[in-house]
């Protein structure tokens, strides 16, 4: 199967796009050249009560440690927005992570409702400020959630790439992360696809 000349296929993203379908040209994703202005990875973590079930929040926090390690190794910037209960707040960044470990993330707790709209709005304001200060920087928005919300926020204008990491489990699935990813033209992955 032919790809774009001179570009390498990004297999994890390609496999996530194809899901259980047969590989077709529209599934292909390619390794992007590093932008000259660097990259900001804004992570939006769902800390609601539903994420406490089945250790989903613990899994999300462990995945965040690994993702922050990758960001640090690439000398990119990161930010962390946590939402749950009554609102959302920025817990880290934007900055290049100098160190990141479980002890720093352990105090992030969960409980209450799922104000996804507040989390996305808080991230959108952060991305807007960063776009104004560093227009050449590429901005990635990562949303880690089980989608147990009725909120249907708009896609932030200053997010160049959006990835939903879907933590929904169980036999009765609402599929809200998938629906939002489709509406936003975003990628949808499971934690296992990023860990594996």
Over the stretch 169-184, which tens digit does the pLDDT of each residue have?
A: 877 778 899 999 999 9
Q: Which residues contact 79 (CB under 8 A, 6 or more apart)?
A: 40, 41, 42, 43, 90, 92, 93, 94, 95, 123, 126
Q: Which residues contact 98 (CB under 8 A, 6 or more apart)?
A: 72
How many residues are recorded in the chain?
196
In order of their start, the domains of the chain are: 1-33 (no CATH), 36-195 (3.40.50.410)
Q: Which residues of the chain have pLDDT under 50?
A: 1-3, 5
Cα–Cα distance measured from residue 6 to residue 21, given in angstroms and rounded to the nearest whole number: 26
- The pLDDT tens digits for 116-157 are 999 999 999 999 999 999 999 999 999 999 988 888 899 999
Q: Residue written as tokens 């993330």?
A: 105
Contact 27, 5 (CB under 8 A): no
Which tokens go with 144? 């880690």
pTM, full prediction: 0.79
So what's the pLDDT on residue 3?
Answer: 47
Sign of CA dihedral 157, 161, 165, 166: positive
């Amino acid at each position: 199967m032919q790809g774009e000349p001179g570009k390498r296929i990004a297999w994890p993203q390609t496999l996530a796009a194809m899901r259980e379908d047969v590989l077709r040209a529209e599934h292909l994703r390619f390794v992007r050249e590093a932008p000259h202005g660097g990259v900001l990875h804004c992570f939006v973590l769902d800390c609601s009560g539903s994420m406490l079930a089945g250790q989903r929040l613990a899994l999300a926090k462990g995945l965040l440690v690994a993702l922050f390690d990758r960001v640090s190794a690439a000398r990119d910037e990161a930010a962390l927005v946590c939402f749950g209960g009554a609102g959302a707040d920025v817990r880290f960044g934007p900055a290049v992570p100098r160190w990141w470990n479980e002890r720093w993330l352990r105090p992030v707790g969960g409980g209450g409702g799922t104000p996804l709209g507040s989390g996305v709005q808080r991230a959108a304001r952060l991305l807007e400020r960063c776009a104004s200060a560093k227009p050449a920087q590429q901005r990635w928005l990562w949303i880690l959630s089980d989608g147990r919300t009725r909120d249907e926020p708009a896609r932030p204008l200053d997010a160049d790439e959006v990835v939903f990491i879907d933590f929904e489990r169980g036999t009765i699935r609402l599929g809200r992360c998938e629906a939002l990813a489709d509406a936003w033209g975003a990628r949808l992955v499971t934690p296992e696809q990023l860990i594996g």
